[in-house]
Amino acid sequence: MSIKRSSLNSDKGDNEFNDKIKKEIDCFRVLINNVRPSSTVSFWRENIKKIPLLYDMALRLLSIQATSADAERYFSAVTRLSNKSQKSFN
């Protein structure tokens, strides 16, 4: 299920989208209260068809990198290389 961007520009489209989100939130609450999921991934895989709009939001939010460890490793490596280059010029 997808909602076209153009339909969101009107009040009718906003109301339709809001109604769908409210229904999915209610469904989500029921699902969470009735069954304790074994993992976040399994929960969303099992319920993608029941709550597709929330699934899309969850996919976007849960895919955000939680730490900056990769960036920090990169900068550390660049610093080490830079220091080695400076030493070789001395």
Q: What is the pLDDT along the chain (90 residues), one digit of tens a residue?
A: 444 444 445 566 788 999 999 999 999 999 999 888 788 889 999 999 999 999 999 999 888 777 777 778 878 888 887 776 666 665
Task: Give me the number of domains the chain comprises.
Answer: 1
Can you point out the beta strands (E) in the chain?
A: none
**pLDDT computed for residue 46 by the predictor:** 93
Q: Which two tokens stand for residue 21?
A: 């989100």
Rounded Cα gap, residues 56 and 24, in angstroms:
12
| Full residue range of the structural domain in which residue 78 is found | 5-89
Rounded Cα gap, residues 9 and 36, in angstroms:
38
Q: What CA dihedral angle connects 65, 62, 17 and 52, to 10 degrees?
A: 140
* pTM reported for the whole predicted model: 0.58
